[in-house]
């Protein structure tokens, strides 16, 4: 098992099959360009690979705000649906925690859709707490 940051276009593209399970609106043809654009603003893509196959992906960024101080925010966290309940998500989540600590983050945050009950069980198992409601408005 290997967890690392996607740096090459090929590594980014290899994350598409997994991340598109969470973000089905994404298109393979524009995926690398979209990730590269977000990387210009601090986004990073970590992936868990074993036997030359990507099984889990996390998109995240480090930021700072008055409310939380320095924090790591997880935008995307997904384990391939055919490989769930094998510990891949736990390994990637622990890697994110260590990455955050190594970069002097005080907190780790993420939002999860209210309908994602399996994901919520996973987050509770990782000792996360529900600390707020997230509100949104399409413009």
pLDDT in tens, the chain (139 residues): 999 999 999 999 999 999 999 999 999 999 999 999 999 999 999 999 999 999 999 999 999 999 999 999 999 999 999 988 888 999 999 999 999 999 999 999 988 776 776 777 777 787 878 788 777 768 8
Instruction: Write down the pLDDT at residue 139.
Output: 87
Structural contact between residues 3 and 47, judged by C-beta atoms closer than 8 angstroms = yes
**What is the pLDDT at residue 117?**
66
3-state secondary structure of 71: strand
Q: The pTM is what? A: 0.88
Looking at residue 138, its pLDDT comes to: 80
Compute the distance between CA of residue 37 and CA of residue 49 in angstroms, rounded to an integer: 24
Specify the pLDDT at position 28.
97
State the sign of the Cα–Cα–Cα–Cα dihedral 108, 71, 56, 77: positive
Task: Name the superfamily (CATH) of residues 2-125.
Answer: Gcn5-related N-acetyltransferase (GNAT) (3.40.630.30)
Distance CA 63, CA 105 (A): 9
Residue written as tokens 């998109």? 59
Please tell me the predicted confidence (pLDDT) of residue 137: 67
Give me the residue spans of the domains in the chain.
2-125
Task: List Cβ neighbours of 119 (8 Å cut-off, separation of 6 or more).
Answer: 77, 112, 113
């Amino acid at each position: 098992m290997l967890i690392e940051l996607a740096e090459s276009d090929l590594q980014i593209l290899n994350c598409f099959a997994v991340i598109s399970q969470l973000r089905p609106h994404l298109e393979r043809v524009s995926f690398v360009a979209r990730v590269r654009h977000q990387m210009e603003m601090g986004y990073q893509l970590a992936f868990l690979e074993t036997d030359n196959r990507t099984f889990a992906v996390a998109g995240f960024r480090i930021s700072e705000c008055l409310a939380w101080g320095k924090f790591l925010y997880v935008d995307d966290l997904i384990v391939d649906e055919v490989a769930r309940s094998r510990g891949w998500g736990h390994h990637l989540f622990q890697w994110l925690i260590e990455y955050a600590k190594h970069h002097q983050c005080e907190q780790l945050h993420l939002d999860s859709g209210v309908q994602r009950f399996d994901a919520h069980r996973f987050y509770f198992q990782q000792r996360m707490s529900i600390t707020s409601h997230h509100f949104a408005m399409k413009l």
